[in-house]
C-alpha cells in the first residue's frame, strides 16, 4: 500500500461492499473535545464527564476481576459500601462470620480486601520474618492525629525498634508493683460496690457493670502507666467524658479504617483542626492533654525516676513525642479490650448458673484449703483449673478486639487457602469465625461451656489454646499488654465472687451490645448482694 493510499480519506471496505465506520483514535477524541471547547461548554462538560465515568467503570471492572475468584457479596467486590454498612450497624464481626460460614475460610469484603477464618494463615502473616506488612487500615488508628503509635505504625523497622524499647515496661520486669496495683484497684472497685451498690430486701441499688468494669480497667492501666489512677472508681464518674466520647469516636475511626484515604485526608494538617486536640476541656482531646502533661512532667530535669511503665519507656530511650503517643494508646487499648473480657465473663456466668456455682465452689474450696490468699496472687490463680477455663472461654466467646487488622500481601503474591492472592491485597481476620469454629471447639462452639477446656484430650485442648492465644496476636505483632490483661483476669473474678452474689436485672435484655472494633456494653445492669446475707 502506498503512502498516498494510506492518507486517502475514502472509507475502507468490508466484505459485501459496505463501508466500515472508522474507529476514532485518541487524536479524534482530542479533536472532538477541542471542537466542543470552542463551541458549547455543555458539550465539553459532557465529554469530560463521559471520560471520567468510563474511567471509573473501567477501574471498577479491573478491580473486580483481580479478585473475582474469591467468593463474597457482589456489592463488596465493587465498592466499600458493604463493609461500611455493616460497620455502621455495629455487627461487622457477626457479618464476617456469616460469610465464612457460607463461603469458606477466605472471603472478599471489599475491592481489595479479604478476610480469613484460617488461624494458620494469621500465624504465617505474623511471623517475625514474615514479608507481610500492616495495611492502610491502620492509618485510621492514630489516636492522637499528630503522631503514630505502636499500633498504627506501619514502618516495619521503626515498629520493631519502638517495640524493643517498650518490652520491659509491658512485661512487668521493671514494674515490680504491677500485681499490687491491680489488687489496689480491685479493692477500690469492691469499696465502691460496698458504698453505693449493695442491694438488700429493703433497698434496691442496681449497678451498670458495663460502666464499672471499664472504670476498673481505666484506673488499672493509668496507674500502671503513670504511677497514679485517673480516679474513675474513686469518683464513680466518667472523667473527661472519656467513655461518652470514645463511644462516639471509635465507631467513626472504624469507618475511617474502611476508607484509609479519607482517614489520611482528615488527619492532614489542613483539616486537623476538626479533630480532638489537647486544649479541649472535655472529651478525647482533654484526655490527650492530660497524658501529654504527665509525660512532659517526666521529662523535666528535676523529676525523679519512677518504677512504672512510663519510667521504663523513658529509661529505654523513648523521646517525649514517642512517650506521649504511647500514653494515649495504653489507656485506650489497655482499658477497652480488658473491660470486654471482664464484662463478657460476668455476663455469661450470670446467665449460666451451673458454671457460676462451679467457679464459686472452686474458689470457696481453695480458700478453705488455704490455697489462695486474700487478695489472690497471680501464681495461685493459675492453679485453679475452672477459673482458667472460664477466662479462656470468655475470651473465646467474645474476642475483645473485633477489628480486621488488615495485613498487606507481599509484592509477589501468595497462595492463601488454596487460592492465589496478588501482591498488595489486604488480608484481615474474621475473629468470631476463628474462635467459634466447630472443627476446633466442637459442635457447641456457639455456647459458653468452660468444661471444654477440662477435656482429657491434651492435643485437642492445646489446639484450642493456641487458637485462643491468637486473640493477642503473635510474632512481630503480639499484643504487648497480654501480661497485664491476664493478671487482671486472674484476680478480679475471684475477688468479686468470693464476696458478692451477682444476678442480672433484665435477663431478657441483659445488655445492649454492639461492635466498633471493640465491643461496647451499654445498660448492663446487675443486682449485687453480700454473700451469706439473709437480706
Q: Which residues are annotated as a binding site?
A: 479
Q: State the burial class of residue 182 (Cβ atoms within 10 Å of its Cβ: 0-12, 13-18, 19+).
A: buried
For the chain, state the CA radius of gyration: 28
Angle formed by the axes of helices 283-298 and 320-351, to 10°?
Answer: 130
CA proximity to 223, closest of 308, 291, 285: 308
| Residue of 317, 408, 378, 496 lying closest to 134 (CA atoms) | 408
- Mark the binding-site residues for heme, compressed into ranges: 479
**What does the alpha-carbon distance between residue 383 and residue 365 come to, in Å, rounded to a whole number?**
13
Give buried/exposed letters for 385-415 (b at 16+ CB in 10 A, else e): ebbbbbbbbbbbbbbbbbbbbbbbbeeeebe
Q: Which cell is 533 given?
A: 446475707
How far is 310 from 290, CA to CA, in rounded Å? 14
- Measured in whole angstroms, the distance separating CA 143 from the mean position of its chain's CA atoms is 13
**Coil, strand or helix at 296:** helix
Element (H, E) at 415: strand 414-416
CB-based burial, 310-329: b 16+ in 10 Å, e otherwise:
bbbbbeeebeeebbbbbbbb
Q: In which residue are the cell numbers 469492691 written? A: 190
Distance CA 246, CA 286 (A): 12
Q: How far is CA 138 from the centre of its chain?
A: 10
**Phi, psi dihedral angles at 512 (to 5 degrees):** -90, 120
Answer left, alpha or beta for residue 222, where phi above 0 means left and psi between -120 and 50 means alpha.
Answer: alpha
229-to-121, 173, 224, 334, 525 alpha-carbon distances in Å: 39, 20, 8, 13, 25
Alpha-carbon distance 78 to 111, whole Å?
5
* Residue 431 CB partners (closer than 8 Å, separation 6+): 93, 96, 399, 401, 402, 471
* Contact (CB, 8 A) for 506 and 390: no
Query: What is the rounded distance in angstroms from the CA atom of residue 423 to the CA atom of residue 408?
Result: 8
List beta partners, residue 426: 113, 408
The verdict on whether omega for the bond into residue 375 sits within 30 degrees of 0, i.e. cis, is yes
Amino acid at each position: 500500500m502506498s503512502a498516498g493510499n494510506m492518507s486517502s480519506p475514502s472509507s475502507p471496505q468490508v466484505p459485501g461492499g459496505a463501508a466500515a465506520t472508522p474507529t476514532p483514535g485518541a487524536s479524534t477524541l482530542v479533536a472532538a473535545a477541542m471542537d466542543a471547547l470552542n463551541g458549547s461548554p455543555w458539550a465539553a462538560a459532557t465529554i469530560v464527564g463521559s471520560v471520567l465515568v468510563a474511567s471509573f467503570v473501567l477501574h471498577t471492572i479491573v478491580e473486580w476481576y483481580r479478585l473475582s475468584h474469591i467468593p463474597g457479596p457482589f456489592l463488596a467486590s465493587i465498592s466499600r459500601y458493604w463493609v461500611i454498612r455493616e460497620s455502621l450497624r455495629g455487627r461487622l464481626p457477626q457479618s464476617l462470620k456469616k460469610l465464612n460460614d457460607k463461603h469458606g475460610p477466605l472471603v472478599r469484603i471489599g475491592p481489595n480486601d479479604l478476610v480469613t477464618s484460617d488461624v494458620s494463615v494469621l500465624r504465617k502473616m505474623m511471623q517475625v520474618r514474615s514479608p507481610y506488612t500492616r495495611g492502610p487500615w491502620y492509618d485510621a488508628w492514630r489516636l492522637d492525629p499528630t503522631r503514630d503509635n505502636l499500633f498504627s505504625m506501619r514502618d516495619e523497622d521503626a515498629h520493631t525498634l519502638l517495640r524493643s524499647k517498650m518490652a520491659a515496661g509491658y512485661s512487668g520486669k521493671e514494674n515490680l508493683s504491677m500485681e499490687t496495683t491491680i489488687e489496689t484497684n480491685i479493692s477500690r472497685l469492691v469499696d465502691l460496690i460496698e458504698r453505693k451498690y449493695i442491694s438488700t430486701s429493703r433497698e434496691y441499688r442496681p449497678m451498670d457493670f458495663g460502666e464499672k468494669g471499664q472504670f476498673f480497667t481505666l484506673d488499672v492501666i493509668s496507674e500502671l502507666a503513670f504511677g497514679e489512677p485517673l480516679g474513675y472508681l474513686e469518683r464513680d464518674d466518667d472523667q473527661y467524658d472519656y467513655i461518652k466520647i470514645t463511644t462516639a469516636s471509635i465507631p467513626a475511626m472504624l469507618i475511617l479504617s474502611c476508607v484509609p484515604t479519607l482517614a489520611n485526608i482528615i488527619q492532614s494538617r489542613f483539616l486537623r483542626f476538626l479533630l480532638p486536640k489537647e486544649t479541649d476541656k472535655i472529651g478525647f482531646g482533654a484526655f490527650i492533654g492530660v497524658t501529654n502533661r504527665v509525660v512532659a512532667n517526666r521529662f523535666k530535669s528535676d523529676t525523679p525516676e519512677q518504677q512504672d511503665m512510663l519510667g521504663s519507656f523513658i529509661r529505654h530511650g523513648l523521646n517525649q513525642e514517642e512517650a506521649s503517643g504511647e500514653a494515649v494508646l495504653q489507656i485506650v487499648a489497655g482499658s477497652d479490650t480488658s473491660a470486654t473480657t471482664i464484662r463478657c465473663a460476668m455476663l455469661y456466668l450470670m446467665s449460666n448458673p451451673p458454671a457460676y456455682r462451679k467457679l464459686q465452689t472452686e474458689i470457696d474450696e481453695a480458700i478453705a484449703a488455704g490455697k489462695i490468699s486474700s487478695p489472690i496472687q497471680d501464681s495461685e490463680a493459675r492453679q485453679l483449673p475452672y477459673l482458667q477455663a472460664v477466662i479462656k472461654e470468655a475470651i473465646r466467646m467474645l474476642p475483645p478486639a473485633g477489628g480486621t487488622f488488615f495485613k498487606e500481601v507481599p509484592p509477589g503474591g501468595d497462595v492463601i487457602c488454596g487460592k492465589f492472592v496478588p501482591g498488595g491485597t489486604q488480608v484481615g481476620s474474621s475473629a468470631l469465625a476463628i474462635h467459634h469454629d466447630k472443627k476446633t471447639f466442637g459442635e457447641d462452639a456457639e455456647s459458653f461451656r468452660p468444661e471444654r477446656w477440662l477435656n482429657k484430650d491434651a492435643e485437642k485442648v492445646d489446639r484450642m489454646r493456641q487458637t485462643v492465644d491468637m486473640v493477642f496476636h503473635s510474632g512481630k505483632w503480639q499484643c504487648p499488654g497480654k501480661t497485664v490483661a491476664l493478671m487482671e483476669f486472674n484476680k478480679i473474678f475471684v475477688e468479686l465472687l468470693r464476696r458478692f452474689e451477682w444476678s442480672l436485672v433484665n435477663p431478657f435484655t441483659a445488655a445492649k451490645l454492639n461492635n466498633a472494633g471493640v465491643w461496647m456494653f451499654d445498660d448492663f445492669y446487675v443486682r449485687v448482694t453480700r454473700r451469706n446475707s439473709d437480706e
